[in-house]
Structure 1
């Protein structure tokens, strides 16, 4: 893979992360309008399907093999449930924690889980063993999470009165 392709992939990954706060903030307002976070979660997922279907049709993707789909292990069908968890929890927690606080904590959970998945090569991922530099990087991210979530209150408590 060439350098430009690699940079393009990196930018797409940054974009994927950048859309999450928008999705969460919009869904909070949707939840207020619809009266409950789960209705906002449902609506968000229905809109996802409605956006995705024309793309699938435009790309003329063939239908998946029903015979193959029926043979898949149950765990392969759980990805959507994790998506529901994230969207629903974002709608509930983002107003209480703030966008940066919620996403910093979500990133901490993602990083911790990703390190375990990579280390053991779970779910068919390439094994990337936990090394000192990777551990240090994860700890730096966790330190950032703590500063983002608790830095203001700690700074206020350390500031002189008056």
Structure 2
């Protein structure tokens, strides 16, 4: 197991919880769709600045037509994710929303790994995966108890 990449993934998880909270606060002030647009504009500006400052990435644009069409659905899913987070956090709280997100995310990830979907490396399904998902679901149920 590569601890560096586990650390990077953990930072991503913390950033997701922060992002969801900040986006929900923005949506409360501006509305969900306006906030979704603002978040994407800021994201675009950030990525563009990184590409320009670091002088990386522009050569990859020549390969846009060489990838399967469905990989571009990530942009659509990004809008769906941000909308769903902004919509759910004010209603059920950051902890409950994040719990539901994580359970669905892990279950979907195990399936994608098992299938090797989208050209990703295939990881054989292990029976421990069922136990892990079950324990995660039990933990989620405990967290969601009111």
TM-score (norm 2): 0.92
User: Aligned partners of 1:87, 1:65: CA distance in 2, in Å?
Assistant: 26
State the Cα distance separating 1:120 from its structure 2 match: 0.9
1:116 correspondence with 2:111: yes
Aligned to 2:140: 145
User: Aligned partners of 2:27, 2:135: CA distance in 1, in Å?
Assistant: 34
Summarize deviations over 1:74-124 as a string: whole Å, max 9, x none. 201111111111111000001111101101101111111111111111111
Higher helix share: 2
Root-mean-square deviation (Å): 1.6
Aligned to 2:13: 17
Larger Rg: 1
Number of aligned residue pairs: 146
User: Aligned partners of 1:94, 1:64: CA distance in 2, in Å?
Assistant: 39
Aligned to 1:132: 127
Structure 1 residues without counterparts, runs of 5 or longer: 154-162
Aligned to 2:82: 87
User: Aligned partners of 1:55, 1:68: CA distance in 2, in Å?
Assistant: 20
User: Aligned partners of 2:61, 2:27: CA distance in 1, in Å?
Assistant: 36
Runs of 4+ in 1 over 4 A off after TM superposition: none
User: Aligned partners of 1:87, 1:62: CA distance in 2, in Å?
Assistant: 25
Structure 2 residues without counterparts, runs of 5 or longer: none
Summarize deviations over 1:97-154 as a string: whole Å, max 9, x none. 110110110111111111111111111121112211121111111111111112xx2x
Aligned to 1:40: 35
Identify the match of residue 78 of structure 1 among 57, 73, 81: 73
TM-score (norm 1): 0.83
Does the 8 Å contact 2:51/2:58 carry over to 1?
no
State the Cα distance separating 1:37 from its structure 2 match: 0.7
